[in-house]
Structure formats: structure tokens, C-alpha cells
Chain A
Amino acid sequence: MSSHREAPEIAKDPVADSTDLYAFVSPDAPDTVTLIANYVPLEGPDGGPNFYEFGDEVLYTINVDNDGDGDADVVFEFSFHTEVTDPGTFLYNTGPITSLGASTWNRRQSYSVTRVDTERGRRTVLGQGLACPPCNIGPLSTPDYTALAQAAVHQLPGRVQVFAGQRAEGFYVDLGSIFDLGVLRPFEQDHTTFGLSGTGLGAMAAGVNATKGLNVHSIAIQVPVTELTAGRATGRTAGSPSSVIGVWTAAYRQKVRMWDGDGHVWAGPYVQVSRLGNPLVNEVVIPMGKKDYWNAQPPGADRQFASSFSDPELAQLLPVLYPGVFPNLAAYNAGAPDRADVVAILLTGIPAGIVPGFQNFTGTTQADMLRLNVALPPASAPANTGLLGGDVAGFPNGRRVFDDVVTIELRALAGATLGLVDPSFTPDAAAGAVSQGLTSSPGDLGAMGTEHYLSSFPYLGVPSSGFAVPAA
């Protein structure tokens, strides 16, 4: 998955487990940037009576680096508080929840948002006591969920708007196939299958969106561009370093946790337990033995993981799993791989001169951050393949909710981008065609009808209702 359950320790701590991060110039307000950090992976919409929520003891942050050193210059901190109106009932709600103030809603969360300007050491509370919406339970409990959730979009001073609560999972991926030894259903006839027979594999098949119908908890904030850039740059010059920001999310817990009868006791400083910049990095680039450690490290220290990017394991595996499909990549891998393309995409940004009219380079500091050139306007005809599809407003220039990041990264790792930095390399034909088979075309922005994004903030779709969960 993008970063769902991607490391052994954080997989056991869902409320602190960052799953996806998005950063894009807002299509309906292009002088603003929208940042969305998702947590709590793979929520079954019917997971009551204790429906999903944020962790009160978790400090959530969305971090922005605007000078390329891998350290945060602007931090948005989100802290949550849960209130139980009536501890005498087991019910999440005792009747229909028709407003965020409904007395029938027994267990509710609110939160505060604080902006930290690290250079000046200034902390500014942007909002507090902000209501989260309830989870989408069903037609009796949450009868007009769309309106209920929309009421939880809060307008804050300075043209800032925020939302924190349940959303439909926007990351589409064929989990069941990709984690079965790298099967891609559209290409399963080419898979080695390890000599097994009777597997049922062998014919080209459509992909399956494994996250269809699942939910997630999103923290979304939309702010003017000038609130994020160095020197409050307006981001009007795409070639300017000041037009590029690096973004990541991180979650923190206090160091000490102790079970004390009917609850946990926490003590000590906050330490980082989860982070996420580019999708799939800790998932498929960082090896098992370093995943928990990686989650505790700041992006600015990512140089220590550089070898996992310059010779990525998945790029080595593709020619092995699909014999004869990637002969040029296989030959390249047999030499001394130095995937400067992967390093640029994920660790430094792409310098000017590689892709005409585009750069999101932040300097030589290697740091896993989602890099967004805020000077590039939203595309009038977006492609879910982003930059690989000629759409410079898409991943890896930031990330929009509909970007097919799995396909983009698969193609890059398969060698589609290697020729950009190594003219002696000719990408295999398959590198530009490999896909998880979840979109019908680059212009398909809804994963063949399995995703229903919104055209305005918070952009991720209305969460699936528990009542609507189909029988297995």
C-alpha cells in the first residue's frame, strides 16, 4: 500500500500510522495549496460500536521544508480530544446525528491546529475546539452524512480551511495481487509463477481495487501559497527554487507508555513513530530490518538510506518475476546500478533541464519529501499518470488525490525514467506499459468508477457507510 501498515511496529498502532500524503495546488483556488495527511489504514465502515477515530495521545504534524535542507520550516500540529457525553451507554450514538452538536452523539472528537514557524520559534494557534464529523454509520445514525461532514470544514483566519475526520480511501491499489509475489493481474501471464501449476494464474485479468469501500481518517488543510514558501514567495516562477516546497507528515507519541488499570499512562518527550513523504518509500524501498528505524528518522537524515534508492530491490525483482519482459533492465541491473532517476524523483527532486518546463529540485540534501512546485498551475486536462503522462501538475510534482502513484512508481522503477539521466539506457517497451490495471486511461480520474473524489476541499470522497457494507 502507499504507506498503510508498512512497517512492523507501526502496523500495530493504526491511529499513528500515516497512510497517504497529498500536496497540490488547489484546482479551485490556485493561489492556495492543499495538504492532506491520512491515518488509520483500511477502516471497515461497519467497525462499530467503537468506530474509528484519531488518537488523543498522538501528535500529528504536516511539515513543510521551503529551503531544501530536509528540516521543517513550517509545521502544522494537530492534537485531538475525545469527549464521551454519557459513559453509561455502550452506544456511539443514541439516535440520529443530525448536526455536529447533536446530543444523540455520545463519542465525539475535536482538535486544535497550531502553526509552528521553526526559524523564529513562533507558535500560533490557528484554531481550537474544532469539531470532527462522526463516522458514516448508516441512514439512521447519520442520515445526511454529506452535509454533516461538510459542516466540519472549518474556515480559519487568513484564508485557511481545515478538516479532520473520516473520508473514503482515495488510494487505489490491487493489494491482493501485488503482495502475492508481485503479481500484476494485467500481466499475470508473464509472471514466472515459480514453476507452480494450478495457481489459476495465466490469463490477462483486470485489476481489483482492494481499498474500494474502505475508509481512512484525513487531516486536511488548505493555506495560501505564500504561507508556505520561503520569503512568502508567490510561486509565480516555475524555475525558481523558492517555488518548490517539500512536504511530509509525521506522528509522535510520548516515549513512555504504561498500562495502568483502565487506561494508559504516558510520559516523556514526544518521539516520531511514523512519517510519510513520497508514497511507497517505506513500503517497498526500505528493507524490513530498517523500516521501524526509518519511521523514527527525520527526512534530513535520509542519506543513510541512499543505497536502497540507487539500487532499489523492486527494480531488481521485476526482471526476475517477469522473465524476458525487461531485458534491458535486467542487463542494467547486472552491472553496477546507480538509479539517479529514482534518487531524483524521491530524494532531491528533479532538476531543471531533465523534463522540459519542469523542475522540483530542492538541492543536494537527500530527503524523502513530497516536492511541489507551486508555480505550476493545476492541469486543465489532468492525467492520472502525472509527470510520466506529460502532466507537470501531477506526481511526482506533489501528489493529487487521483494520481495513480503505484503505476507511476512501477514504471519508473521498471526503467521508464532511467533514460532521462542515463542516455545509454533504452527503456524496455514494457516499462511504459506496466500498470496495476485500475484505470481505463490516463484521463480516468476515478479508477473506473471505484473512487468518487470531490471537486473542492477536502477533495477526498464521502466515506462509505457502515450500513452499505456488502455481505462477504
Chain B
Amino acid sequence: MGVSRRTFLGRGTLAVAAAGVLSSVPGLSGLLTSAEADGPAVDAGAGDAGAAAGGDLAEPLVAHVRDVTTGEISVFNGTREVVVRDPQLAGRLVRAVR
């Protein structure tokens, strides 16, 4: 199961859009490429039908820190979602908004 809208907005999580935070958080810009090697998106389904090819940063990149403690981050771009675990990056994102 993917993330529901409710959990997306839930406490203890953090979502950032690349446009505003990318430049101030080292590591995020390279996240999508590195995450692709980690495996497919967590949510198959209808998204497969319309999946765009490649990580096109002409489209928005959104990172959702699902769990700060474990560093689990969902990264959305185009019609893809990849999940990475990077506690250090999650920590930097948290510090960026404090």
C-alpha cells in the first residue's frame, strides 16, 4: 500500500518540494538517480500504465520524509515514486525547515 493522503499530512512526517529546498539541502538533487538503483516504486498499479521514462527534473520533484527516525523518504517525480532510507538526509531536511 502506498501512502494515503491522511498519512501524507500526518504528524511526524515532512514533505518538501524540490523547487524551494533543493539548493539548501545537499544530497537531495542526486537522490532520484541513486534511488532508482534501490528498486522500483513502492506502489505499482495504475501508475505503471502511464509511467514516464526516466527522471525528468523538468517536472516537480517532491520528497516526503515518512519517518525521520529511519530516514525513510519517498521521492516523487513524474509518475514515479521511489523510496530511499537515508537518516542523514532526513535530518538535513528537518533542519532546513527549522
Interface residues, chain A, CB within 8 Å of chain B? Answer: 9, 59, 61, 75, 77, 116, 123, 250, 252, 254-256, 258, 260, 265-272, 292, 296, 298
Contact = CB atoms under 8 A, between A and B. Distances in A.
Interface in B7-51: 8, 15, 17, 41, 43-51
Contact of A269 (B2, B5, B15, B60): B2
Contacts of A61: 46
Nearest to B42: A269
B89 interface: no
B76 A271 contact: no
Given A252-B46, A255-B43, A296-B4, A269 B77 contact: no
Given A269-B43, A271-B46, A256 B62 contact: yes
Contacts of B76: 254-256, 267-269
Interface stretch (B65-73, B78-86, B90-98): B78-86
A271 B64 contact: no
A77 B49 contact: yes
Q: How large is the interface on B (under 10, 10 to 19, 20 to 34, 35 or more residues)?
A: 20 to 34
Contacts of B81: 255, 268-269
A123 B81 CA distance: 22
B51 A267 contact: no
Contacts of B50: 59, 77, 270
Contacts of A270: 45-47, 49-50, 79
Given A255-B76, A255-B81, A296-B4, A265 B60 contact: yes
A116 B49 CA distance: 8
Given A9-B5, A268-B76, A268-B81, A258 B60 contact: yes
Contacts of A266: 60
Contacts of B48: 269
B21 to A, nearest CB: 12
The 3 closest A-B pairs by CB, nearest first: A269-B47, A268-B76, A267-B76
Contacts of A268: 47, 62, 74, 76-77, 79-81
B43 A271 contact: yes
Nearest to B5: A9
Given A265-B17, A269-B46, A254 B79 contact: yes
